[in-house]
């Protein structure tokens, strides 16, 4: 069977013997009666597990709306106008509303970036500020010892509304829900404490219950309550295909179930060889972004198997801390140990590679220099076909093969 595998701007052809193909994993077609702003408005009128915003917010209260920063795909410019309209209908003055961008550990925005995120009309309508990790209120500690440090603007508000999008997250299970507040509006020490548990075996994509990172995030909300969430699910073109609103647990879980209906793929067993691609440009512009395909592919490969990871990586590593950690490591295990004692953004992606390398080989198909790829514990190849042929020769003619053309957005799960 022949496949077109996304690779930069020029897809590559791959041929796999029919008898070896265990499956081809692609997202299901999205079937949704409401999309875009209509989906958001419908969710606001039909909240899950809570009253409506009109029943919640009161005139005179200080209301904070937490919105995603520029590193996230959430279309706040489509979400926020409907939220503000609901608040205004109930007599909440726009002068009492502040939009706080959840920076986490990311850099602050320029004015132009803030305008682009929420739209000119929203930016003119309400005050818009970045969260400040250096000006937080400590509101308590979780059972795992994470300080619930929340940026003052959010901590001192009367009402907190969290917005964002729901997608798979490789150690928090899913994005969305409580994640906007913790770690989105938290201090660096809180983020360090929470994210250092990313190496726990239950801190993985698509898992909520028993996931120590997600449970720590949600426990933090006991100290700094979220009154209402508005979360959306996006298709591969980043358009809204579903929205949920209401309780930060119940509505979030409903959104996760919808996401699973599109992107979760049941498999009978893990394969000997997994072919994984981000889908081509711009998603595979560097190794930092290509990691998203690897993280889903790791759930499909057996221990001791091989992942053929296709990503053009024209811009190399793509992030300086990630590059430094990868090149400084003397073994995958050293990266895992390093992230446990010193969580750093960028370093966490290096640790995610290491966790996969401890279980399986990675044959990297990229434009990166071969010596750089070898130094970071992977085998370099120029084409998907030559990488597959090498993997097939090593595993043997009976090797089972799973193909993931859009691995960044398909989550394989071994059927019970």
Residues classed as catalytic: 106, 169
Instruction: Please list the residues that pair with 307 across neighbouring strands.
Output: 274, 362
Nearest to 337 by CA among 202, 204, 199: 199
Nearest to 23 by CA among 262, 261, 266: 266
Answer yes or no: are the C-beta atoms of 301 and 23 closer than 8 Å: no
Answer yes or no: are the C-beta atoms of 313 and 282 closer than 8 Å: no
Task: At 134, list the tokens.
Answer: 């250096």
Phi, psi of 198 (to 5 degrees): -65, -20
Q: Which residue has the tokens 């043997």?
A: 396
């Amino acid at each position: 069977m022949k496949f077109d595998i996304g690779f930069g701007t020029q897809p590559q052809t791959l041929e796999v013997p029919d008898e070896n193909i265990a499956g081809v994993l692609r997202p299901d077609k999205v079937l949704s009666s409401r999309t875009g702003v209509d989906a958001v408005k419908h969710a606001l009128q039909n909240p899950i597990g809570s009253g409506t915003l009109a029943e919640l917010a009161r005139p005179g209260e200080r209301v904070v709306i937490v919105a995603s920063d520029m590193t996230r795909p959430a279309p706040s410019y489509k979400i926020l106008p409907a939220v503000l309209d609901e608040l205004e209908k109930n007599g909440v003055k726009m002068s009492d509303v502040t939009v706080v961008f959840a920076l986490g550990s990311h850099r602050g925005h320029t004015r132009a970036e803030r305008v682009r995120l929420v739209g000119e009309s929203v930016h003119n309508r309400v005050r818009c500020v970045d969260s400040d990790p250096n000006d937080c209120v400590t509101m308590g500690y979780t059972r795992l010892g994470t300080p619930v440090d929340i940026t003052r603007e959010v901590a001192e508000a009367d009402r907190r509304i969290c917005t964002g999008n729901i997608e798979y997250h490789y150690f928090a299970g899913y994005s969305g829900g409580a994640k906007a507040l913790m770690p989105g509006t938290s201090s660096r020490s809180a983020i360090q404490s929470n994210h250092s548990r990313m190496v726990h075996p239950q801190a993985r994509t698509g898992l909520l219950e028993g996931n120590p990172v997600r449970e720590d995030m949600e426990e933090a909300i006991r100290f700094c309550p979220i009154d209402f969430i508005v979360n959306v699910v996006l298709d591969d073109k980043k358009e809204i295909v579903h929205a949920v609103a209401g309780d930060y647990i119940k509505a979030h879980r409903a959104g996760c179930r919808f996401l699973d209906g599109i992107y979760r793929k049941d498999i009978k067993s893990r394969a000997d060889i997994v072919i994984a691609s981000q889908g081509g440009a711009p998603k595979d512009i560097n190794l930092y972004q290509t990691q998203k395909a690897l993280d889903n592919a790791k759930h499909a490969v057996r221990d001791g198997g091989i992942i053929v990871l296709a990503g053009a990586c024209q811009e190399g590593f793509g992030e300086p801390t990630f590059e430094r950690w990868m090149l400084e490591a003397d073994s995958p295990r050293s990266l895992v140990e390093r992230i446990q004692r010193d969580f750093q953004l960028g370093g966490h992606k290096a640790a995610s590679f290491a966790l996969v390398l401890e279980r399986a080989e990675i044959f990297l198909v990229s434009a990166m220099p071969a010596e750089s790829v070898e130094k970071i514990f992977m085998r370099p190849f120029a084409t998907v076909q030559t990488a597959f042929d090498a993997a097939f020769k090593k595993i043997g003619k009976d090797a089972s093969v799973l193909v993931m053309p859009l691995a960044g957005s398909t989550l394989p799960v071994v059927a019970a």
